[in-house]
Structure 1
Amino acid sequence: MTRHKPPVNSLAALVRLTRPRQWLKNGLVGAAAVFSGTITDPVVVIRLSLGGAALCALSGAVYALNDLHDRATDRVHPLKRDRPLASGAVSAGAAWGLAAGLVATGLTVMAFVSTGAFVTSMLYLALNALYTLWAKEQVILDVLTVSAGFLLRVITGGFLAGVHLSPWLLACTFLLSLTLALGKRRGELNALNEEAVNHRKVMSDYSVLFLDQMIAVVGSVTITCYTLYTLLSESGRANPYLFASVIPVVYGLLRYFYLIYHRQAGESPETLPVTDRPLLAAICVWLAIVGAALYG
């Protein structure tokens, strides 16, 4: 019986190429508005919605371009070989066309909404190009570059909302994203074992012990930084009950450590809030406390 292959360049494959599951990260554009108390302003919500959609287009283009660059190595990866380009479900020409269209659309919307957001979006694209072409193979710089991408999302949100960005918010964002990036590297190293170097050369410069030490240090600093944020920042001083949100943050990070150390689940941190109910519950409790403290 002949097995029929799915059609090349189908709509489903093109959408999958942009990795919609990763778009959740772009929710960080709303962080500055939430902590500044302006998220209830309808104009701010509209600007954030347009900017968030534009950032999803830009990040989708980044993922498509990254997969174009890595399609040869992805074909021999146990999981990544099923990606649209590596599996042949999307042609290189279609991927280039999709990426170009998404970049043009995303930048046009950003330019319409905010000049500052347009500039940070350009920086976001440049940063990801640097990561794909060079930084992803540089030990430590690879995870720092990933964390900088999260930071640019928050800064873009500050321009979209037209609010002052707290240095505490930026520090917490950077440290938390760095913790997650290190956990992801650890998950990749564990999942691929000796084959890890064949898929990414920089893995030869990492070891589980080295990553564990960095995760312990950065994770501890993240909790300390967020605690100080709730006490010393402008939002914290104006809303003393914000300190209560430290509890779900500490639990959430410790739960994350449990998942990566005992369940070896660090390779895909973006899926953990969906697949792990205790972690999802911690996030929901944190959102409830922050909402009550700032808007109650």
Structure 2
Amino acid sequence: MPETARLTQAARAREATLHGQRTPPGRTPPPARRRGPRALLTGLVVTARPRQWVKNLLVLAAPAAAGRLLSVHALTQLALVFVLFTACAAAVYLVNDARDAEADRAHPVKRHRPVAAGQVPVPLAHAVGGALAVLAPLLAAVLASPAVAALLAVYVAMQLAYCLRLKHVLVVDLAVVTTGFLMRAMAGGLALGIPLSRWFLITTGFGALFMVSAKRYSEAVQMAGKDGATRALLTEYTTGYLRFVWQLAAGVAVLAYCLWALEEGGDARDGLLPWRQLSVVAFILAILRYAVFADRGTAGEPEEVVLRDRGLALIGLVWLALYGLAVAHW
């Protein structure tokens, strides 16, 4: 190795040490990042995963299904719950990245995360994450309702347990991630005092399990025969088992939605036509379309699957229109 290259590598190693990083032998450390106030704030926001915030729009699900969105009070409460759920999720991401910083530095992609790269110090990530985890449920108790506060507290506790231990437990990891989606859908109803239908809960829960297990299945298919899976637990699952889970979840979600539509719709309450029953067709088509990506092993993040496929997005809009007509009694 030329002398200049050796000196450059040594300088990088010293720089990484100054930033509290441990670079594995033979691996180039991630680029050093400044720690000014603006850089710290940017790093904290990036660590909070802004792209994941769209999932928190599920707080609109129960009020939308009940036709309770068109009031200033409802929109204000739902906006508050959205922000509080985003804060809770950010707390979990910060604690998770702080805990996994050492392992992330050895990963070719995760090493560029702000905490792993040294842009956000590990103690600061822990402190901000802990503060958000405590403040969000407290604010919910004051500004929303005790039920929402309890839900957020349970969500944070469950997700932190997932980061620390449960993500390494077979099947339980799927249940925890699925429950996180279900809690988002429940939060909006609890904030407005809307009774949650059993069919709503079953459809939402198994629909979430369908997407979560389809994502895991896709990861397992893509990592088959390769070393260094991003989730160690993927080596414990078989692709056949994960396929069974997403197929089972899809079937239960479709059945529950059909029973929900038949129970709630089909009479004069739906308006000119049985819109709720007609929405079953769009719902089933959406499940079948999503299953195409699951079967191919390309079902990643749910929001990315929907946004990148125009056909699936169009079916989703048709379903929204039909269900909206049913709620409006047109």
TM-score above 0.5: yes
Tell me how far 1:194 sits from its aligned partner.
4.2
CA–CA distance in structure 2, aligned partners of residues 5 and 81 of structure 1 = 11
Q: Deviations over 1:63-93 (max 9, x none)?
A: 1112222333333444433322233332212
Which residue of 2 is the match for residue 66 of structure 1?
96
* Alpha-carbon distance in structure 2 between the residues aligned to 1:12 and 1:70: 20
Matched, 1:162 2:162: no
CA distance in structure 1 between the aligned counterparts of 2:313 and 2:295, rounded to whole angstroms:
18
Alignment equivalent of 1:40, drawn from 46, 49, 70 = 70
Q: 1:229·1:236 contact (CA, 8 Å) conserved in 2?
A: no
Q: Which TM-score applies when normalising by structure 1? A: 0.90
2:137/2:150 contact within 8 Å kept: no
Distance in 1 (alpha carbons) for counterparts of 2:321 and 2:108 = 39
Q: Which runs of 5+ in 2 are unaligned?
A: 1-7, 13-30
CA contact (8 A) 1:29 1:156 kept: yes
Q: 1:256 aligns with which of 290, 305, 328?
A: 290
> Would you say 1:7 and 2:48 are equivalent positions?
no
Q: How far 1:212 moved relative to its partner?
A: 1.2
Q: Is the 8 A contact 1:186 1:267 kept in 2?
A: no
Contact 1:189 1:196 in 2 (8 A): no
The equivalent of 1:83 in structure 2 is 113
Deviation for aligned residue 1:195: 4.7
| Residue 308 of structure 2, aligned match among 275, 283, 288 | 275
Is the Cα contact below 8 Å between 1:54 and 1:105 reproduced in 2? no
Q: Aligned in 2, Cα 1:197/1:246: closer, same or farther, shift over 3 Å?
A: farther
> What amino acid is aligned across from residue 253 of structure 1 in structure 2?
I
Distance 2:118 2:219 in 1: 24
- Aligned-pair distance for 1:260? 2.8
Structure of larger gyration radius: 2
Is the aligned partner of 1:294 residue 2:327?
A: yes
Q: Tell me the distance in 1 between the aligned counterparts of 2:298 and 2:251.
A: 20
| Structure 2 counterparts to residues 205-284 of structure 1, below 5 A | 205-233=236-264, 238-239=269-270, 240-262=274-296, 264-284=297-317
- The structure whose residues are more often helix, as a share, is 1
User: 244-253 vs 52-61, which deviates more?
Assistant: 244-253
What residue is the counterpart of 1:102 in the other structure? 132
> What's the offset of the Cα at 1:140?
1.1
Using the TM superposition, name which of 175-184 and 195-204 deviates more: 195-204
C-alpha distance after superposition, 1:101-153 (max 9, x if no partner) = 32344223311211110011111111112211221111111101111111222
**Amino acid of the structure 1 residue aligned with 2:219:** E
3-state DSSP of counterpart to 1:84: coil
Q: TM-score, normalised by structure 2?
A: 0.81
How far 1:202 moved relative to its partner?
Answer: 1.9
**CA distance in structure 2 between the partners assigned to 1:68 and 1:99 by the alignment:** 9
Cα distance change, pair 230–78 in 1 and its aligned pair in 2 (3 A): farther
Match of 2:5 in 1: none
Q: Letter of the aligned partner of 1:244 in structure 2?
A: L
Counterpart residue identity of residue 110, structure 1: A
- 1:147 and 2:178 equivalent? yes
Aligned to 2:79: 49
What's the offset of the Cα at 1:198?
5.3
Q: Which consecutive residues of structure 1, in runs of 5 or more, have no partner in the other structure?
A: none
Cα pair distance change 1:232/1:65, threshold 3 Å: same
Alpha carbons of structure 1 residues 183 and 76: separation in structure 2 relative to 1, 3 Å: farther
Could you tell me whether the CA contact under 8 Å between 2:223 and 2:229 is conserved in 1?
A: no
Q: 1:123 is matched by which residue type in structure 2?
A: V
- Counterparts of 1:188 and 1:73, CA distance in 2: 19
2:223 aligned partner: 192
Residues 15 and 26 (structure 1), Cα distance of their counterparts in 2 relative to 1, 3 Å cut: same
State the secondary structure of the residue aligned to 2:115: helix
Which stretch has the larger CA shift, 201-210 or 78-87? Answer: 78-87
RMSD of aligned Cα (Å): 2.3
Task: Kindly indicate whether the alpha-carbon contact (under 8 Å) linking 1:54 and 1:106 is maintained by their aligned counterparts in 2.
Answer: yes
Contact 2:91 2:133 in 1 (8 A): yes
CA distance in 2 between counterparts of 1:159 and 1:60 reads 21
Tell me how far 1:293 sits from its aligned partner.
Answer: 1.4
